Structures are given as C-alpha cells and as structure tokens.
C-alpha cells in the first residue's frame, strides 16, 4: 500500500 504512495511521490524509486 505504501509503495503506491511512493510511486506517486517518487517515480524514480520504481526505476531503481
């Protein structure tokens, strides 16, 4: 659930 929030706030994290 927190991952969705992080993805919206920091799409760069998804790239890592």
pLDDT at residue 14, rounded to an integer: 65
pLDDT at residue 11, rounded to an integer: 66
What gap in Å lies between CA 6 and CA 14, rounded to an integer?
9
**What is the secondary structure of 1-16 as a DSSP string?**
-HHHHHHHH-HHHHH-
pLDDT at residue 2, rounded to an integer: 64
* Residue 12: half-sphere exposure toward Cβ, Cα within 13 Å: 1
Burial 1-16 (b: 16+ CB within 10 A, else e): eeeeeeeeeeeeeeee
Digit-by-digit pLDDT tens for the chain (16 residues) are 566 666 677 666 665 5
pLDDT at residue 5, rounded to an integer: 64
What gap in Å lies between CA 15 and CA 2, rounded to an integer?
16
């Amino acid at each position: 659930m927190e991952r969705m929030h992080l993805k919206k706030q920091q799409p760069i994290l998804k790239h890592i």
